[in-house]
Amino acid sequence: MAALHGPLLEQTSAFRGNALLLTGPARVGKLALARAIAAQHNCTGTRGMYGEACGTCPSCRALAAGAHPDLLTVEPRAVTTTGKVARRKIIPIGAILEGRDKGRDYETHVYEFLEVRPTFQRRVVTVVGAEYLGPEAANALLKLVEEPPHGALFLFLAEDLRAVLPTIVSRSARLGVAPASDEALGRALLRAGLDADADLIAFAGGRAGVLTEHAAVSTALDDARTFDGALGGPLLGALGAAEALEKRWDAAWHPEALRFVWRARQPAARARADTALGELQEALEAYASPSLSFQVFALRLREALGEAG
Q: Please say whether the beta carbons of 195 and 189 come within 8 A.
A: yes
pLDDT at position 111 is 94
In a domain, 187, yes or no: no
Say if residue 291 is in the same domain as residue 228. Answer: yes
Tell whether 183 is covered by a domain. Answer: no
Residues 108 and 65 in one domain: yes
Q: What is the residue range of 301's domain?
A: 213-308
DSSP assignment string, 6-26 = HHHHHHHHT--SSEEEEE-ST
Whether 24 contacts 32, CB under 8 Å: no
Question: Residue 78 in contact with residue 131, Cβ under 8 Å?
Answer: no
In a shared domain, residues 91 and 226: no
C-alpha 147/C-alpha 141 separation (Å) is 10
Q: What secondary structure does DSSP assign to 96-164, as a single string?
A: T-GGG-TT---SS-HHHHHHSPPSSS--EEEEE-GGGB-HHHHHHHHHHHHS-GGG-EEEEEES-GGGS
Q: What average pLDDT score do residues 50-56 get?
A: 92
- Residues 276, 137 share a domain: no
pLDDT digits (tens, 9 = 90+) for 161-191: 999 999 999 999 999 999 988 998 898 888 8
Please tell me whether residues 43 and 156 are part of one structural domain: yes
Enter the pTM of the model: 0.82
**Distance between alpha carbon 134 and the CA centroid of its chain, in Å?**
19
pLDDT score for 306: 78
Do residue 104 and residue 169 come from a single domain?
Answer: yes
Residue 148 and residue 32 share a domain: yes
Query: Is 275 a member of any domain?
Result: yes
Of the residues 159, 178, 197, the one at which a domain ends: 178
Are 165 and 257 within one domain? no
Residues 130 and 237 in one domain: no
Residues 20 and 82 in one domain: yes
Model pLDDT, residue 69: 97
86 pLDDT higher than 70: no
Please report whether residue 284 resides in a domain.
yes
Confidence class for position 309, pLDDT limits 50, 70, 90: very low
pLDDT digits (tens, 9 = 90+) for 267-293: 999 999 999 999 999 999 888 799 999
Which pLDDT score, from 0 to 100, does residue 49 have? 87
> What pLDDT, on a 0 to 100 scale, did the predictor assign at position 308?
42
Q: How many domains does the chain have?
A: 2
Q: What is the pLDDT of residue 296?
A: 96
Q: Are 126 and 218 within one domain?
A: no
State yes or no: pLDDT of 194 exceeds 90: no
| Mean pLDDT score of the chain | 90
Distances (CA, A) of 25 to 83, 159, 179: 29, 5, 8
User: Does residue 205 sit within a domain?
Assistant: no
Same domain, 159 and 224: no
236, pLDDT greater than 90: yes
21 in any annotated domain: yes
CATH code at position 115? 3.40.50.300
Axis crossing angle, helix 267-285 with helix 254-261, rounded to the nearest 10: 170
Q: Which DSSP letter does residue 86 get?
A: P
Q: State the pLDDT confidence band at 78, using cuts at 50, 70 and 90.
A: low
